[in-house]
C-alpha cells in the first residue's frame, strides 16, 4: 500500500525518507480507506497527506488547504475516478517546471538530472491534445521521481510515479510519454470491468510509441517496438498457457494472474490493426468520439471499435473481434507458382492460415488477417484473409515477402524456394532493417515449433554476419541464447558454443571499429558495439577480455565471466562505493556471470543475507545466476527450493514472487527438470504464479522435444568448432 524509501541528498549528510502510495487493485486501496475499489464505482477523490516542512506533498489534485498544527494537506476534489487511481507522495522533493506550447505547466519532482523527462512532457502534451482533440482537463500533472522505486512507472490521475533513473534516460523517452498519456488522458475513461483491462494498459502502451514517433523521429521507435514488444509477445502468445486479450474475471486474485506481460503486450498488438484499418485521420476522430461519449465513465472494447468504425467506415469490429476474444495468432503459410493463363509475368501465391503454436496444434481458430505482400521491385498488394485459405496474384519478381515492415501480427512460413530467394536478398542487402528482423525472428520461432530444420536456421544466422544494425543483432543474439544455447549447454558443448559466437560476431565488431568509438558514430553504432562486446566477452574473445575491469554494463559481465576471485571482490567493492543506485543495479545483475561454483554460491547467499541486495532486486540477481549456464540454472533452482520458506515470507503478497518463478524456471531443457518443478509446486502451491509455472513447464518440455529432434544435428554442426 505504502512504499517507504530512504535517500541521501548530495549536499547533506543525513539520509531522508519519503513515502509513496502504490495501490494495486483491489486489496491495497481497501487497506488504506473505506471503498469498494471497482472500476464502475467512482469516488470524488479528496487526498489527505501529511508532511512537515520542508517536505513536499504531491497528491492527485492541487493543494486546497494546509494545517499548520497537524501538517495535514487536503487536496482539491476531482471529478469521479476509481479509488485505485488515488495517489500521493510525501518527501523532501525539489521540483522543476516548464511551460508547453499550450501554456500548461507540468512539474517534475526530482533532481535536475531528470529535466529530460520534463522536456518530454513539454513536447508531448501538445501532441496528445491534438491526437485526442481536447486539451488536458486536469488542473495539474506531476511526475514524481522516487528513489529506489521498485514497481516501474505508475500513472495515476494528475500524478505519476517513476524510478529516479528513468527520468534521465535520453535513449528511452517512452516511460514518461506513457505516464503523461495515462496520467493526463488515459484515465479519463475507465474499463467497465477487469475483463477489459487491456483498454487502459495495452492501449496506453501502444499510443506511447505513436507519440514518440511524432515527437522524436530520430529514435526510430517502431523498430524498437518490434524488438521490445511485438517479438516478445509473439513468443509468449504461442504457448498453450497463453490467454486471450480479454479474459473473464471473477475474483480479485485473478486480476494479478492476468495482469502479465501477455496482457500488456497483446494490448499493444490489437491497436496497430485498428489504426491501419481506420487511417490516421479517422483513427484520431474515432478516439475523440470514444472519449467524448465515455469521459469520466466506463467503456468496453466494443465501444472503442464502434467509434473507430463510425469515423472510418471500415469494418473494425468485424476484424478486431477475432483478435481480442481468442487466444494466439496465425501462422501464414505461403507458396508461389507461375500463374495460369498468363504470359509468365505473374506469380500466384497460395496463402493459408492456422494457429501458430510451439506445441501440438489442435486449434481450429481462424483470424481476419490484414496481409500485405511486397515484391523485389517494391510493388505492394493488400488483402484481407477472412477464410482458411486464399490465392492472390503478384508481378513476377526475384523475391516476394509477406508482412513488410513487420507490422502484421503473424508468423510466415515460406516454401523452400521462396525462403532461398529471401536469404539471397538478405545477403545482398535488399531487405529493410525491419524485414531482416522479421525474417530472422520468424525462422527462430518456426525452428522451435518444429517447422524448420537447424540447417535452414543456421543458413540465416550465417547470412546475418553482414548485418549492421543493433536491433537485428540484439534479437539474433537473444534468440541464439534462448533457443540454441540452452540446447548446446544440455549437450555439454559450451566451449564449442563460445567459439561459434566469436566467429559470428568478430566481423561486425571490427566493422564497428573494435573497442574504440569512431568519429561520427551514431546512437545505433554505440548500442551495437556494447551488444557485441557483451557477446564476445561472455564467449571469452581475447581482444575483448583485455579491457579494464572498472568499466560498465557489458564489461562487468565480461570481466566476471572470465575472471575469478579478485575480479569478483573488486566488483563487490565497487558496488559498495558507488552512490548511484543504477550503477549498483548494473553490478549486482552481473555477479551471476561468474563461472566459479563457489562464487556462484556466494552470489546466491547475498540474496538472503540482506546485506548488499535489496529485497526488490533479489529476483534479478537470481535471474543473472540462472541465465549463466545449465549448472547455474540448476544450482539456483536448488537454492530456491532449500530457502523457499524465506522467499515466501519476504515476497508473499507481492508480484515479485511470481516474477521469481518466471526468471529462474523459464529455460530448463529436460522433462526431468520440468517434473521436478511441477512436483515442487504441487507440494507448495503458488496461485499468483500459476500461469508463470505453466509457461515454465511448457518451455522446458518444448526445449526437450527440440533437443530430441535436433540434438544429433547440433552435435554435428558444433563439432567443427574447437573446444
**Binding-site residues for Zn(2+), please?**
201
**What CA–CA distance (Å, rounded) separates 667 from 628?**
11
Handedness of CA 116, 117, 121, 127 (dihedral sign): positive
Measured in whole angstroms, the distance separating CA 221 from the mean position of its chain's CA atoms is 14
- Pairing mode of beta strands 15-21, 88-91: antiparallel
Q: Is the distance from CB of 236 to CB of 483 less than 8 angstroms? A: no
- Please report the DSSP string for 659-689 in residue order: HHHHHHHTT--SHHHHHHHHHHHHHS--GGG
The full 3-state SS of 612-629, as one line of letters, equals CCCHHHHHHHHHHHHCCC
Measured in whole angstroms, the distance separating CA 358 from the mean position of its chain's CA atoms is 20
Instruction: Classify the phi-psi angles of 614: left when phi > 0, otherwise alpha if psi is within -120 to 50, otherwise beta.
Output: beta
Q: Is 182 exposed, middle or buried (0-12, 13-18, 19+ CB in 10 A)?
A: buried
Measured in whole angstroms, the distance separating CA 302 from the mean position of its chain's CA atoms is 26
* Helices within 464-616 (DSSP H only): 470-479, 486-490, 494-511, 523-538, 542-545, 554-562, 565-577, 581-588, 597-609
**What CA–CA distance (Å, rounded) separates 311 from 289?**
8
Q: Is the distance from CB of 468 to CB of 508 less than 8 angstroms? A: yes
**What CA–CA distance (Å, rounded) separates 97 from 118?**
7
Cell of 245: 486479450
Cell of 132: 485526442
Write b or e for each residue in 403-427: b if 16 or more Cβ atoms lie within 10 A of its Cβ, otherwise e.
Answer: bbbbbbbbbbbbeeebbebbbebbb
Q: Is 429 exposed, middle or buried (0-12, 13-18, 19+ CB in 10 A)?
A: exposed
**What CA–CA distance (Å, rounded) separates 179 from 162?**
9
In the chain, DSSP finds a helix count (H) and a strand count (E) of 29, 21
**What CA–CA distance (Å, rounded) separates 707 from 452?**
14
Give the residue from 511, 482, 516 showing the smallest Cα distance to 633: 482
What residues form the annotated binding site?
A: 201
**What CA–CA distance (Å, rounded) separates 308 from 299?**
14
- Please report the DSSP string for 375-430 in residue order: ETT--EEEEEE-SSEEEEEEE--S-EEESGGG-SSSEEEE-HHHHHHHHHHHHTT-
Reported for 300-305, long-range contacts at CB under 8 A and 24+ positions apart, including other chains, are: 300/191, 300/192, 300/196, 300/199, 301/196, 301/198, 301/199, 301/246, 304/199, 304/203, 304/274, 305/274
**What CA–CA distance (Å, rounded) separates 505 from 183?**
43
Q: Is the distance from CB of 196 to CB of 301 less than 8 angstroms? A: yes
Give the residue from 543, 539, 527, 602 showing the smallest Cα distance to 571: 602
Q: Count Cβ atoms below 10 Å from residue 703 Cβ, excluding itself.
A: 25
**What CA–CA distance (Å, rounded) separates 544 from 553?**
14
Residue length of the chain: 723
CA max distance for the chain: 92
Cell of 473: 543483432
Amino acid at each position: 500500500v505504502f512504499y517507504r524509501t530512504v535517500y541521501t541528498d548530495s549536499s547533506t549528510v543525513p539520509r531522508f525518507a519519503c513515502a509513496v502510495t502504490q495501490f494495486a487493485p483491489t486489496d491495497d486501496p481497501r487497506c488504506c480507506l473505506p471503498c469498494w475499489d471497482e472500476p464502475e464505482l467512482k469516488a470524488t477523490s479528496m487526498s489527505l497527506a501529511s508532511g512537515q516542512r520542508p517536505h513536499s506533498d504531491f497528491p492527485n489534485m492541487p493543494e486546497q488547504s494546509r494545517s499548520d498544527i497537524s501538517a495535514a494537506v487536503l487536496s482539491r476534489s476531482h471529478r469521479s475516478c476509481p479509488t485505485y487511481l488515488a495517489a500521493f507522495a510525501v518527501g523532501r522533493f525539489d521540483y522543476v517546471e516548464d511551460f508547453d506550447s499550450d501554456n500548461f505547466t507540468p512539474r517534475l519532482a526530482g533532481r535536475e538530472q531528470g529535466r529530460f523527462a520534463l522536456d518530454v512532457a513539454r513536447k508531448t502534451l501538445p501532441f496528445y491534445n491534438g491526437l485526442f482533440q481536447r486539451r488536458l482537463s486536469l488542473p495539474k500533472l506531476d511526475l514524481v521521481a522516487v528513489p529506489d522505486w521498485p514497481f516501474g512507472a505508475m500513472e495515476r490521475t494528475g500524478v505519476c510515479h517513476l524510478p529516479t533513473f528513468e527520468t534521465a534516460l535520453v535513449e528511452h523517452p517512452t516511460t514518461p510519454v506513457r505516464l503523461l498519456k495515462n496520467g493526463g488522458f488515459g484515465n479519463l475513461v475507465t474499463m467497465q470491468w477487469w475483463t477489459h483491462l487491456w483498454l487502459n494498459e495495452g492501449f496506453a502502451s501502444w499510443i506511447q510509441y505513436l507519440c514518440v514517433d511524432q515527437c522524436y523521429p530520430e529514435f526510430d521507435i517502431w523498430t524498437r517496438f518490434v524488438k521490445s514488444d511485438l517479438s516478445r509477445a509473439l513468443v509468449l502468445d504461442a504457448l498453450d498457457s497463453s490467454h486471450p486479450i480479454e479474459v473473464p474475471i471473477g475474483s480479485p486474485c485473478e486480476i494479478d494472474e492476468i495482469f502479465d506481460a501477455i496482457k500488456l503486450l497483446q494490448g499493444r498488438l490489437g491497436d496497430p490493426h485498428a489504426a491501419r484499418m481506420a487511417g490516421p485521420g479517422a483513427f484520431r476522430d474515432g478516439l475523440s468520439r470514444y472519449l467524448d461519449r465515455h469521459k469520466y465513465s466506463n467503456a468496453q472494447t466494443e465501444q472503442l471499435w464502434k467509434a473507430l468504425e463510425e469515423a472510418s467506415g471500415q469494418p473494425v469490429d468485424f476484424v478486431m473481434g477475432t483478435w481480442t476474444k481468442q487466444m494466439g495468432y496465425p501462422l501464414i503459410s505461403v507458396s508461389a507458382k507461375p500463374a495460369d493463363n498468363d504470359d509468365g509475368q505473374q506469380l500466384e501465391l497460395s496463402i493459408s492460415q492456422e494457429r501458430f503454436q510451439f506445441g501440438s496444434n489442435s486449434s481450429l481458430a481462424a483470424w481476419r488477417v490484414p496481409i500485405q505482400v511486397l515484391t523485389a521491385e517494391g510493388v505492394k498488394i493488400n488483402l484481407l484473409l477472412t477464410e482458411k485459405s486464399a490465392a492472390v496474384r503478384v508481378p513476377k519478381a526475384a523475391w516476394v515477402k509477406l508482412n513488410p515492415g513487420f507490422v502484421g501480427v503473424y508468423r510466415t512460413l515460406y516454401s523452400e524456394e521462396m525462403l532461398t530467394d529471401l536469404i539471397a536478398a538478405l545477403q545482398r542487402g535488399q531487405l529493410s532493417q525491419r524485414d531482416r528482423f522479421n525474417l530472422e525472428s520468424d525462422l527462430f520461432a518456426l525452428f522451435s515449433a518444429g517447422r524448420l530444420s537447424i540447417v535452414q536456421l543456421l543458413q540465416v544466422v550465417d547470412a546475418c554476419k553482414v548485418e549492421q544494425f543493433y536491433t537485428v543483432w540484439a534479437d539474433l543474439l537473444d534468440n541464439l541464447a534462448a533457443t540454441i544455447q540452452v540446447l548446446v549447454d544440455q549437450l555439454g558443448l559450451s566451449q564449442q558454443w563460445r567459439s561459434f559466437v566469436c566467429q559470428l560476431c568478430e566481423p561486425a565488431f571490427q566493422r564497428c571499429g573494435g573497442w574504440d568509438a569512431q568519429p561520427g558514430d551514431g546512437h545505433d553504432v554505440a548500442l551495437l558495439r556494447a551488444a557485441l562486446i557483451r557477446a564476445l566477452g561472455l564467449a571469452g574473445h581475447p581482444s575483448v577480455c583485455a579491457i579494464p575491469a572498472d568499466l560498465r554494463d557489458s564489461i562487468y559481465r565480461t570481466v566476471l565471466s572470465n575472471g575469478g576471485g579478485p575480479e569478483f571482490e573488486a566488483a563487490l567493492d565497487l558496488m559498495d562505493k558507488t552512490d548511484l543506485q543504477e550503477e549498483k543495479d548494473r553490478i549486482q545483475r552481473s555477479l551471476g556471470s561468474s563461472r566459479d561454483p563457489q562464487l556462484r554460491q556466494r552470489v546466491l547467499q547475498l540474496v538472503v543475507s540482506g546485506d548488499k541486495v535489496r529485497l526488490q532486486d533479489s529476483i534479478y540477481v537470481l535471474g543473472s545466476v540462472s541465465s549463466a549456464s545449465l549448472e547455474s540454472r540448476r544450482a539456483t533452482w536448488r537454492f530456491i527450493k532449500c530457502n523457499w520458506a524465506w522467499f515466501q515470507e519476504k515476497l508473499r503478497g507481492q508480484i515479485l514472487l511470481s516474477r521469481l518463478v518466471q526468471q529462474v524456471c523459464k529455460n530448463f531443457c529436460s522433462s526431468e527438470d520440468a517434473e521436478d518443478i511441477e512436483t515442487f509446486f504441487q507440494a507448495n502451491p503458488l496461485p499468483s504464479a500459476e500461469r508463470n509455472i505453466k509457461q515454465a513447464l511448457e518451455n522446458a518440455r518444448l526445449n526437450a522435444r527440440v533437443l530430441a529432434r535436433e540434438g544429433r544435428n547440433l552435435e554435428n554442426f558444433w563439432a567443427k568448432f574447437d573446444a
